[in-house]
Chains A and B, each alone.
Chain A
Amino acid sequence: MTDLKNQLINIEKLPESIRSQVMFINEAPTAIAMFDNNMRYLAASGQWLKDYNLLDKQIIGKSHYDLSPYLREDWRKVHQECLMGKAKSGEEDFYKKSDGSVKWFKWDVKPWYLENHVVGGILIFTADITPAKYREELLFKYQDLLERTNEAARIGTWEADLKQNLITWSNVTKQIHEVADDFIPSFDTAINFYKEGENREAILKHFNACAQHGQDFTLELIIITTNGVEKWIKTTGIPVWENDEIVRVYGLFQDIDERTKANKALALQEEQFRQTFEFAANGMGLIGLDGKWLKVNQGICNILGYTKEELSLLTFSDITYQDDLLKGLEQLDELIKGNIDSYQVEKRYLNKAQQIVWVLISVSLVKNNLGEPSHLISQINNITQRKLAQFQLQESLSKLQGIQDASTQVCIIEFDIDGKIIFFNKGAENLLGYAAQEVVNIENVTLFHLKEELASRAATLSKEFGEEISEQVSVFAYPLKGLFETREWTYVRKDKATFPILLTITAIKNNLGNVNGFLAIATDISQIKLAEAEVNSLLTLTKEQNERLLNFAHIVSHNLRSHSGNLSMIIDLIKMEIPEVTENDFFPLLIEASENLKETISHLNEVVAMNNKTNENLSSLNLVEYVEKGIANIQASLVETGGYIFNSVKEDSYVMAIPAYLESILLNVLTNAVKYRSLQRKLCIKISSWTEGAYTIVAITDNGIGIDLQAHGSKIFGMYKTFHDNEDARGVGLFITKNQIETMGGKILVESVLDQGTTFKIYLKHDQN
């Protein structure tokens, strides 16, 4: 063996079979080399020479180790083992080329034998697997990338092996189910993660369809994780066929919970916006930057009277009132420039009927996702009613101002709660001599009041209210307590002249009912005061005259009485001392004259006496009692004439009267009824009573001859008037009756029809208690 090793194998001397092999190797398309037992080249294929960079080298007979000095030690060992008769191979191996690149190959080493079964050397095959190896690496890289991508996108995978009934989940799939990494799912556990009901039914149906009929599926369903969390997932299923049979189903498994929820929330928001937009009570519209309506709601249509279709053809300016076209344009510009977020403007629109509609518009800008202005959202409120109310208020205010200005003779002054003047009208300027701008917001109420008057009023009020009232507050004390007050005061003009005024002060209340100011209305009452003084002096004069008259009446009646008394005494004496004179025809006339004089004086006295009575003498008297007394007095005449009386005066009627007067009045009227009875019929007197306000009325009605009121009405209660030819007529009676009634604060009225009867109505004050 040893000598064989050291001796070069001569190819020519090799047997024919080996030589043909050497020939074959030289022409082989793969990398193959043949070595003798000393690792010297016997033959090498073109591919080998190419693979190992030996093309231009003479290799036959040269040692493999000499030509490839850096051959790895383990390979040398393989060579030696094979020279000992072993065969070896390697599936994947590599070596670094001189240029540093790595070469992947698989190899096969076998011994070859001489005729005597002696190992003649070895054959080495190598196959370059570098491209395959490269593809394999690339695939691995891609798979790794896919796995990482899936993980990042929370996309997992699953696989169901239908033959072995095995379910496999990727890590992400497990994470989505919130199970541990070592969890091993079964078919049942996998299905049971789906929410019971339509979700579970759907996955079962589609999985079965996929496993049995090969139908792909993509489903979005809800699972309930191990932790009990409901989650939206997306799962796909793809069948795998082998020999016309479905052996596996695999697919993706993705967590779409957040996305789904976000989508659903967005949809809800959009729906809410649509609802708000469509059914908002006020108008809402989307407007393009060109001023065209993009979308309007029913509210706008209601405000403007156009349909949505009509509005879509109109621009902003078409419906804006001419004078308001420029309103808000500046703000719109600022809004589009992004300087402001929104703006509000009040303007007038014209509705379809070309009537003015006042609106309050709020405009805000919508930007697209690039931050550029996209369109405008406009909210439109109809404020026509409010505007009209505002105009009405303005009108009222200007009317009020007009009234205040027009009142040139009435002071209208407004004070704040502290008494400061805040309004001063023309009348105030005229009467007080100050100009409004001199006093408004400068002076207070004490400016034109007399200091002494304020002081005395303050003292009175302090006593009345039991608290200290300052001079200034004294003017407002009553209004402050919620009352209005009218009093006479003295005002002082700018030129210090004073004049009396009648001042009414009212509190001005705010909407909470708190007093926050006062309105003073003062009228100059100088003229009234003068007239009052005149009336007073006239009254005094009249009183004096009355007293003088009374005095005069006293004297007259007294003196007349004296003379008349003397006259009757003389006549008496004549009768006694010169009885023959009584025979004279003149004497009875003298007696009659004397008697008449006496009676006249007596009446005169009654009248004079009455004027001294006053109301203070009145007492509460029972009317029935006095009526009955009167009736009793005329009872004799009644019986004589066959007359009768109906008395219906109420028992509980009381009147305020002087007893003697009441008696005299009733007797006088009743006597008249008897005196002036009709001779054609039986006398009938009716007496009744009732109350009217402060009076109790006694009505005495007879059926007598009556009085011609047309002829005598104005004289009936005059002194010494008689209306009948009746001998007993004493005209003074009704005069006295009337005066007595009036002295007691009452009155008497008469109604009469000639030859039918007369009614006297006597009004007397009744007892208020």
Chain B
Amino acid sequence: MTKIETACIIDDDPIFVFAAKRMMLLANFCESFLVFHNGKKALESLEPLMRNGDNLPEVVLLDLNMPVMDGWQFLDHFIQIPTTKKIIVYIVTSSIDPEDLNKAKSYEVVSNYIVKPINLDMLTEILKDFPKRA
């Protein structure tokens, strides 16, 4: 099983972030975490990393509803940044709005659309799926 080096969580909900990190630990999902509380902060940190090609996360779990810069705005900027390493984006949101789901499908970079809450099984699935996409 290919192990994920770094997973990035972009979510403004501290409880979700706490629970998600614990579950990912339990699932032995990755070695390290990068956590941002909105899209803007995530972009500011990720962009230099992407340009350098250093310590880039392999997987991004992206929330949609966030203050300052929401998930969609983040994606729009994110896909403009040239990078050598492939990053897999999972949208993890509470929204069950079919419009959001359809919109998510229009981004090539988005691998899946996961409706909260998440549990161990879901993480295991992503992990299984990871090598095919990497």
Give the B-binding residues of A (Cβ under 8 A): 554, 558-559, 561-562, 564-566, 568-570, 572-573, 576-577, 605, 609
Contacts and interface: CB of A to CB of B under 8 A. Distances in A.
B19 A566 contact: yes
Contact of B96 (A561, A568, A570, A576): A561
Interface in B43-96: 65, 94-96
B31 interface: no
Given A558-B65, A565-B117, A573 B16 contact: no
A572 B13 contact: no
Given A558-B94, A573-B23, A566 B119 contact: no
Given A562-B16, A569-B19, A576-B26, 10 more contacts: A558-B95, A561-B95, A564-B117, A565-B116, A566-B13, A566-B19, A569-B117, A569-B118, A570-B15, A570-B19
30 contacts: A558-B95, A561-B94, A561-B96, A562-B13, A562-B16, A562-B94, A562-B116, A565-B16, A565-B94, A565-B116, A566-B13, A566-B15, A566-B19, A566-B117, A569-B16, A569-B19, A569-B116, A569-B117, A569-B118, A569-B119, A570-B15, A570-B19, A572-B117, A572-B119, A572-B120, A573-B19, A573-B26, A576-B26, A576-B120, A609-B98
A552 to B, nearest CB: 15
Interface string B16-56: 10011011001000000000000000000000000000000
A515 B16 CA distance: 83
Contacts of A573: 19, 22-23, 26
B133 to A, nearest CB: 24
Given A566-B117, A569-B19, A572-B119, A605 B13 contact: no
Among B13, B15, B94, B98: residue with most chain A CB under 10 A: B94
Contacts of B26: 573, 576-577
Nearest to A608: B97
Contacts of A561: 94-96, 116
Interface string B94-134: 11111000000000000000001111100000000000000
Interface residues of B, number: 19
Contacts of B118: 569
B62 to A, nearest CB: 15
B64 to A, nearest CB: 9
A569 B94 contact: no
A572 B13 CA distance: 18
Contacts of A562: 13, 16, 94, 116
Nearest to A602: B96
Q: Which 4 A-B pairs have the closest CB atoms?
A: A565-B117, A565-B116, A561-B94, A569-B19
A579 to B, nearest CB: 13
Given A565-B117, A572-B119, A605-B96, A577 B15 contact: no
A27 B131 CA distance: 213
Given A576-B26, A577-B22, A568 B117 contact: yes
B103 to A, nearest CB: 15
A516 to B, nearest CB: 65
A564 B15 CA distance: 11
A569 B27 CA distance: 14
B23 A572 contact: yes
Contacts of B95: 558, 561
Contacts of B98: 609
Nearest to B20: A569
Contacts of A566: 13, 15-16, 19, 116-117
Nearest to A598: B117
Contacts of A576: 26, 120
A570 B22 CA distance: 10
Contacts of B65: 558
| Candidate in A569, A573, A605 with the most chain B CB atoms within 10 angstroms | A569
B38 to A, nearest CB: 15
A565 B15 CA distance: 10
Nearest to A559: B94
Nearest to B22: A573
A192 to B, nearest CB: 132
Contacts of A554: 97
Nearest to A562: B94
A576 B118 CA distance: 14
Contacts of A564: 117
Nearest to A605: B96
A564 B94 CA distance: 10
A606 to B, nearest CB: 10
B36 to A, nearest CB: 17
Contact of A569 (B23, B96, B97): B23
A573 B22 CA distance: 8
Nearest to A594: B117
A390 B22 CA distance: 106
Contacts of B117: 564-566, 568-569, 572
Contacts of B97: 554, 609
Nearest to A567: B117
Most buried by B among A562, A573, A577: A562
A565 B122 CA distance: 14
Nearest to A576: B26
A664 to B, nearest CB: 15
Contacts of B116: 561-562, 565-566, 569
Instruction: Please indicate which of the listed interface residues B19, B22, B95, B117 has the most CB atoms of chain A within 10 Å of its own CB.
Output: B117
A616 B104 CA distance: 24
Contacts of A605: 96
A567 to B, nearest CB: 8
Contacts of A569: 16, 19-20, 23, 116-119
A609 B97 CA distance: 8
B114 to A, nearest CB: 11
Contacts of B96: 561, 605
Contacts of A570: 15, 19
B54 to A, nearest CB: 32
A566 B63 CA distance: 14
A539 B56 CA distance: 54
A609 B96 CA distance: 10
Contacts of B119: 569, 572
Contacts of A558: 65, 94-95
Contacts of A559: 94
A451 to B, nearest CB: 51
Nearest to B96: A605
Nearest to B117: A565
A345 to B, nearest CB: 94
B22 to A, nearest CB: 5
Nearest to B118: A569
A658 to B, nearest CB: 13
B115 to A, nearest CB: 8
Nearest to A560: B94
A605 B98 CA distance: 11
B117 to A, nearest CB: 4
A558 B95 CA distance: 6
A570 B23 CA distance: 10
B85 to A, nearest CB: 30
B55 to A, nearest CB: 28
A570 B13 CA distance: 13
Contacts of B22: 573, 577
A568 B116 CA distance: 10
Name which of A568, A573, A609 has the most chain B CB atoms within 10 A of its CB.
A573
Nearest to B14: A566
Contacts of A577: 22, 26
A292 B67 CA distance: 121
A136 B95 CA distance: 166
B72 to A, nearest CB: 15
Contacts of B94: 558-559, 561-562, 565
B98 to A, nearest CB: 8
Nearest to A570: B19
Contacts of A565: 16, 94, 116-117
B48 to A, nearest CB: 31
B71 to A, nearest CB: 13
